[in-house]
Copies of this chain bind each other. A is one copy, B any other.
Amino acid sequence: MREPVERLCRSIGYQFNNLGLAETALTHRSAGSTNNERLEFLGDAILGFVIADYLYANYPAADEGQLSRLRAGLVKGDSLAQIARNLELGKFLNLGTGELRSGGHSRGSILADAVEALIAAVYLDGGYLEARRVILQLFEEKLSTLSKKSQQKDPKTRLQELLQSQKKPLPSYTIISVTGEQHEQCFTVSCRVDELDLRTEGTGSSRRKAEQDAASKFLRKIDNV
């Protein structure tokens, strides 16, 4: 038996004016021609925008490549399925008999699609700001984990602090080569601590990034010693 949708509404903190929208969002295509596929298309787009907007505002130092990677990690199917499981969303799904028998309630892709469709249903029912609020609430834990990770120190700082704590000399960074056209340059930088007889090379689109890459490899080398 499906659980009543009202309970799910309480979990996501949104009361639908038109509960039929929520029902459609929870209806897999196996259950009929009025299903959540169109809503999923819309929900995916809203979600992509709200998360992009959040990351843009909260990660002012991240370049567009980092922003894209952060977003991809947040909105990928696995993340959405996890959010669905936290909501016990499987209990509210409307599935056809085939999917019911083959365990569709717990299938990641079905759960992820339903989360996107539910987001679209909130948008159509309550507007953009309500959809935004629900999305940020659903992603609260993931966004907070991300924020903690991003506050971790960068590899160069960590390497420096590690060597200082061991009373070792600090590493020296040297540019080995710079290749490529003006705005698509690739820097190769070495990171050396002669006393330890250790040396790594890092690459990146800027000197700073190449140094961080070299420091990161240096840290891994020390860890393996």
Contact = CB atoms under 8 A, between A and B. Distances in A.
B52 A64 contact: no
Nearest to A36: B64
Given A96-B183, A98-B183, A183-B29, A52 B41 contact: yes
Given A41-B68, A46-B49, A63-B37, A182 B56 contact: no
Contacts of A63: 37-38
A64 B38 CA distance: 5
Q: How many of chain A's residues touch chain B, expressed as a range?
A: 20 to 34
Question: Secondary structure at chain A's binding surface: helix, strand, loop or mixed?
Answer: helix
A45 B50 CA distance: 8
Given A38-B64, A42-B56, A64-B41, A181 B49 contact: no
Interface of A: 29-30, 37-38, 40-42, 44-46, 48-49, 51-53, 56, 62-64, 67-68, 96, 98-99, 120, 128, 181-183
